[in-house]
Amino acid sequence: MSSTNGRSTNVVNTDSQIARSGGDVVCDAILEAGVDVVFGMPGGASLPFYDALYRYQDRIRHVLIRHEQAAGFAANGYARATGKVGVATSTSGPGATNLVTCMANDMMDSVGVVYITGQVARPAIGSDAFQETDITGISIPVTKHSYLVLDVDDLPRVMKEAFYIASSGRPGPVHVDIPKDVFVETTTCTAPQSLDLRGYITPTAGDAALVARAAEVINAADRPIIMAGHGIDISGAAEQLFALATRGNIPVVSTLHGVGTFPETHPLSFGMLGMHGLAYANFAMGKTDCIIGLGTRFDDRAVGKVEEFGPDAKVVHIDVDPAEIGKVLATDVPIVGDLKMTLERLLPLINHHDRKAWFSQLDSWRGRHRSLDIPESPESVLPQEVVRAIYEVSGGDARVIADVGQNQMWAAQHFWYEKPRMFFSAGGLGPMGYALPAAMGVKLADDRRDVWCVTGDGGLLINIQEFNTLAAEGINLKVAILNNAHLGMIRQWQEFFYEGRYMGAYLDNPDFAAVAKSFGLHGVGATTREEMNSAIEMAHAHDGPVVLDLHVDQVENVYPMIVPGTGVASVIEDPR
């Protein structure tokens, strides 16, 4: 809520004296940031901004979503697919409060999105005016930064700062709240060439002495392991990660957001770790003598019981955010810096080692604990099979956007991601309803790859209104509903931990294929294996949005599972 008065850094453009409206200033800043799509829904307070979007419609595509939450998730998908900043907009009051979940989601997952919200006109602020809410007061804890712009002369600088802050360092959401009359007023000010953000440090390569120390620790380790996190994607360091693993002959596990940063079919890949990670990935974390944490915040769903997570390991942690270092794990070599630049500095110092004993141990776990085998299921189609079928039909070259819950885990487990920025899900906040709008954003950001939205039936229902956007905008998205007629992860937890007392887990679903058809989409239902396979093949071949209502086994559980609060030794593996 940085009210923006009292700063002297605004630049008055005296040469040209070109007066721009506040709305035009915002549009120019969007273009300046290389962004060409804005997701949003208009309202009274943002109408002048929409008047500017009308003038800019040849350069900025406005996608009218059907609920503001979808705008934020779509902007998140846009940002994650491109590495650019996403932009979402709403009006004041209810429009703005509907974006709060999205801000919290971006914050948890370090995704750069700029939120433009309309506010009531300045004279009405504080009067409980129609659709007034103190949205900057609400957004403080869930944004990287926020502004309430009370003077149009501040707006060019604020917009430039907003895009810079959203995309630099550890990315995150930036909220700009703009009163209706500020959109209308004109200014001759332009943004300053260089921003005056004292105290905001742009990351550089990690400290050379610490990098040298890291190399010593890694080279001396007998059982090192790399834990690749979302930071690899954000920093664009997949190549450097590959070089580190292959040069040092070091196995790699990934976090949920790190999936695909290292090719998952490579012999050095040991898959995803964590609560529903592969058993051997978690065993490795228990026995390693050196954890190399790259761009990860050692989230509780990845780490589990801290005392059993690398109890004998030295920890080398490289992250752009100093507050993440030492937050969860005691760290032997703490390195703050940009991951790509830091790995460039580390690579020449890394020696190759055979680590024969370590690999024979890892491979023996991998052989004995076959976490990714899909059991026989003559009576029903298993949801894992759906993900496999999508993997097969797309040749592994599709982007997959998963929702939250069981579907998210199966989508992470049963598809082999070979490249960065191929798998997206909302891992930190875990908002159901993410996948459909996020997948729209991914597809609109980059049309070159097929995009599959893998969602549960519960999550789909949370933002199902976006079928309308999908149809209206003709977004060529494939939606695979793993329809098990339950909030599946809830059902699983009630089975495991509440002795089967199912409460609020069953879903009395509509016919999703018919719903899709009523929205003008190509909707197909499937119950048998043959129907499922041919539906997926059809969707792959079809040029346009398709919704597949895939009736899968209703009581299938996600395995393996580490019971929260326990260590890897108590992992529950598939009993079949």
Partner 1 sequence: MSEPQVHTLVATVQDHPGVLTRVASLFRRRGFNIASLAVGHSEEPGYSRMTIAVEGSADEVSQCEKQLYKLIEVDSVRNLTGTAAIICELALIKIRVSARSDELDKVTRNHGGEIVDRSESSMIVQMPGDQKRVDQFLDVISGHPDAWLIEEISRTGAIAMARGSTHGRNG
The CB density around residue 137, as the number of other CB atoms within 10 Å, is 12
End-to-end CA distance of the chain: 55
Shortest distance in whole angstroms from residue 138 CB to partner 1: 11
Please tell me which residue in 39, 68, 160, 556 is annotated as part of the active site: 68
φ, ψ at 124 (rounded to 5°)? -90, -10
Shortest distance in whole angstroms from residue 340 CB to partner 1: 21
Asked about 242 being catalytic, the answer comes back as: no
Please tell me which residue in 32, 57, 130, 327 is annotated as part of the active site: 130
Tell me whether residue 27 or residue 166 sits nearer to partner 1 (CB atom). Answer: 166
Please tell me which residue in 1, 131, 287, 531 is annotated as part of the active site: 131
Asked if residues 572 and 561 have their Cβ atoms less than 8 Å apart, the reply is yes
Three-state DSSP at 437 gives: helix
Q: How far apart are CA 448 and CA 446, in angstroms?
A: 6
Tell me whether residue 136 or residue 425 sits nearer to partner 1 (CB atom). Answer: 136
Asked if residues 294 and 318 have their Cβ atoms less than 8 Å apart, the reply is yes
Binding window for partner 1 (CB under 8 A); candidates: 133-141, 264-272, 348-356, 517-525: 133-141
Asked about 489 being catalytic, the answer comes back as: yes
Tell me whether residue 204 or residue 518 sits nearer to partner 1 (CB atom). Answer: 204
Tell me whether residue 200 or residue 502 sits nearer to partner 1 (CB atom). Answer: 200
Q: In the block, which residue shows the tokens 């007066």?
A: 19
Asked if residues 475 and 446 have their Cβ atoms less than 8 Å apart, the reply is no
Asked about 130 being catalytic, the answer comes back as: yes
Residues 171-190 that bind partner 1 (CB under 8 A): none
Q: Are strands 478-483 and 451-456 parallel, antiparallel or unpaired?
A: parallel
Binding window for partner 1 (CB under 8 A); candidates: 132-140, 225-233, 369-377, 443-451: 132-140
Amino acid, single-letter form, for residue 528: T
Residues 142-171 that bind partner 1 (CB under 8 A): 144-145, 148, 165
Residues 379-418 that bind partner 1 (CB under 8 A): none
Residues 305-334 that bind partner 1 (CB under 8 A): 321-323, 326-327
Binding window for partner 1 (CB under 8 A); candidates: 5-13, 151-159, 276-284, 492-500: 5-13
> How does DSSP classify residue 562?
P
Q: Where are the beta strands (DSSP E) in 397-477?
A: 399-402, 423-424, 451-456
User: What's the distance, CA 114 to chain centroid?
Assistant: 15
Tell me the sheet residues that pair with 573.
Answer: none
Tell me whether residue 125 or residue 485 sits nearer to partner 1 (CB atom). Answer: 125
* Contacts with partner 1, 266-305, as mask; x by CB under 8 A: ----------------------------------------
Tell me whether residue 105 or residue 408 sits nearer to partner 1 (CB atom). Answer: 105
Please tell me which residue in 41, 432, 489, 561 is annotated as part of the active site: 489
Three-state DSSP at 113 gives: strand
By CB under 8 A, name the one of 1, 347, 349, 429 that touches partner 1. Answer: 1
3 is an interface residue for partner 1 by CB under 8 A: yes
* Contacts with partner 1, 193-232, as mask; x by CB under 8 A: ----xxxx--------------------------------
Q: How far apart are CA 506 and CA 554, in angstroms?
A: 10
Q: How far apart are CA 558 and CA 258, in angstroms?
A: 20
The CB density around residue 194, as the number of other CB atoms within 10 Å, is 8
DSSP string over 308-328: GSSTT-EEEEEES-GGGTTTS
| Structure tokens belonging to residue 196 | 């005056």
Residues 471-510 that bind partner 1 (CB under 8 A): none
> How does DSSP classify residue 227?
E
Asked if residues 29 and 163 have their Cβ atoms less than 8 Å apart, the reply is yes
Shortest distance in whole angstroms from residue 199 CB to partner 1: 4
Asked about 180 being catalytic, the answer comes back as: yes
Tell me whether residue 143 or residue 394 sits nearer to partner 1 (CB atom). Answer: 143
Shortest distance in whole angstroms from residue 561 CB to partner 1: 29
Q: How far apart are CA 446 and CA 79, in angstroms?
A: 11
Asked about 107 being catalytic, the answer comes back as: no
**Residues involved in catalysis:** 68, 130-131, 180, 489
Q: Which residues contribute to the site for partner 1 (CB under 8 A)?
A: 1-4, 6-8, 136-137, 140-141, 144-145, 148, 165, 197-200, 321-323, 326-327
